[in-house]
Chain A
Amino acid sequence: MTLRRESTAFFLFVALCLAFLLLLFAHASWREKADLGIYGEKREIVKALGLTDLCLFTEARYTRHPAVADRFTPFQDHPMSLEHFPSASILLPPPHLSAP
Chain B
Amino acid sequence: MSWTGKQRNILDFTLSSLLRRKGRNAALVFVYTFVVFLLASVVFLAQSIKEEAKEVLREAPEIVVQRLVAGRHDLIPETYIGKIRGIPGVQSVKPRLWGYYYEPLNGANYTVIADENYPYEKGTVVIGNGVARHLPPLVGKTMPMRTYGGSYLFMRIRETLSSESELVSSDLILLSVDDFRKLFRIPEGVGTDLVLTVRNPREVATVAGKIVEILPDTRPITRSEVLRTYDAVFDWRGGMIFANLIGALFAFVIFAWDKATGLSAEERREIGILKGLGWETSDVILMKFWEGVVVSLSSFFLGVILAYVHVFFASATLFESALKGWSVLYPAFRLKPVITPYLVSVLFFLTVVPYTFATIVPSWRAATTDPDAVMRA
Contact = CB atoms under 8 A, between A and B. Distances in A.
Ranked nearest first, the 5 interchain pairs of A and B with the lowest CB-CB distance are A86-B325, A17-B301, A6-B15, A28-B337, A94-B229
A68 B241 contact: no
20 contacts: A6-B19, A9-B15, A27-B337, A28-B339, A31-B312, A41-B162, A42-B56, A43-B58, A46-B56, A48-B115, A50-B61, A54-B57, A54-B168, A55-B166, A57-B327, A58-B111, A58-B171, A87-B327, A89-B239, A93-B233
Given A6-B12, A31-B336, A42-B168, A55 B111 contact: yes
A12 interface: no
Given A20-B301, A89-B240, 16 more contacts: A7-B8, A9-B15, A10-B15, A24-B305, A35-B336, A41-B165, A43-B56, A45-B165, A50-B195, A55-B111, A56-B49, A57-B327, A63-B325, A70-B66, A70-B68, A91-B239
A90 interface: yes
Contact of A31 (B8, B15, B117, B337): B337
Given A45-B165, A47-B59, A48-B115, A59 B72 contact: no
B238 interface: yes
Most chain-B Cβ atoms within 10 A of its Cβ — which of A50, A89, A91, A96?
Answer: A50
B239 A21 contact: no
B165 A90 contact: no
Interface string A36-70: 00110111111111111111111101011111101
Nearest to B108: A58
Given A50-B195, A68-B66, A86-B325, A24 B161 contact: no
Interface residues of B, number: 86
Given A56-B49, A95-B232, A49 B113 contact: yes
Given A55-B168, A57-B323, A90-B239, A46 B60 contact: yes
B233 A66 contact: yes
A44 B170 CA distance: 15
A92 interface: yes
Interface of A: 5-7, 9-10, 13-14, 17-18, 20-21, 24-25, 27-28, 31-32, 35, 38-39, 41-59, 61, 63-68, 70-73, 76, 85-87, 89-96
A58 B109 contact: yes
A41 B66 CA distance: 27
Contact of B11 (A10, A21, A71, A93): A10
Interface in B100-128: 100, 108-111, 113, 115, 117, 128
Interface string B54-84: 0111111100101010011100000000000
Given A31-B337, A91-B239, A92-B239, A52 B57 contact: yes
A85 B326 contact: yes
B159 interface: no
Interface string B300-343: 01101100100010000000001111111111000011110000
A26 to B, nearest CB: 10
Interface in B153-189: 161-162, 164-172, 174
Contacts of B25: none
A33 B320 CA distance: 27
